Amino acid sequence: MLADLLVGLPGPLFVLAIGLLVVAEAALVIGVVLPGSSALLTLGVVADSGVVPLSVALAVGMVAALVGSNLSFAAGRYRPGALSSRWLTSAKGQRARAVLGRFGGSAVLVGQWVVGARTLTPRFAAAAGLPYRRFLPWNLPSAATWGLVWVAVGYGASEAYQRWSWLAAVAAVVLLAGLLLLGRRALDRIDALEQA
């Protein structure tokens, strides 16, 4: 439904909406539910169709990723109480803070590429006391590259998707069935070991 609404927008409004969505993904923590990578893939596909120039799509992807992660860092620094939800204070949340405290900038770099962590990593980095002068040199190349890569993948995959989408759907179903079968076998083995 959201995709239908966005695709119906004129080119400049579409680009603005995608940019704002990617910023909001990180800044407002909605990235846990709505990954910005999907929005940037869509932007790349739309750029391939000629509705939006590729240079504009790439620039929007890069800038939106940078602005979103920096706003997320600011939220973690200036609103530390916002990190006190049940999950963030859980054992997983404490481990995430410990990793950021220990590895600092390199954790920021890696976190940019993990779905969900992209949204939370800058907040945790700020809450863990990582200074902005250490955050920015790691975040700048990582966020910029992240935005560029997802737009470029959408752009490059657009034609291939149109040509081979049926094959991708079949492969996804086969892969999912295989993963479910492997998971079931692993659970059976665990049950057998526990009963022994």
The predicted structure's pLDDT at residue 78? 77
What residue segments make up the domains of the chain, in order of their start? 2-162
Instruction: Please state the φ and ψ torsions of residue 130, each to the nearest 5 degrees.
Output: -65, 120
Per-residue pLDDT of the chain (196 residues; tens, 9 = 90+): 455 556 667 778 888 888 888 888 887 766 556 678 888 988 998 898 888 899 999 999 999 999 999 998 998 877 655 555 555 567 767 777 677 767 777 888 888 888 777 888 888 888 777 889 888 999 999 999 999 999 999 998 887 766 766 676 777 788 888 888 887 787 777 777 777 6
Q: Where are the beta strands (DSSP E) in the chain?
A: none
The predicted structure's pLDDT at residue 58? 94
The predicted structure's pLDDT at residue 151? 93
Q: How many CB atoms lie within 10 A of CB 161?
A: 14
The predicted structure's pLDDT at residue 1? 46
The single-letter DSSP state of residue 29 is: S
- What's the token pair of residue 81? 């109480």
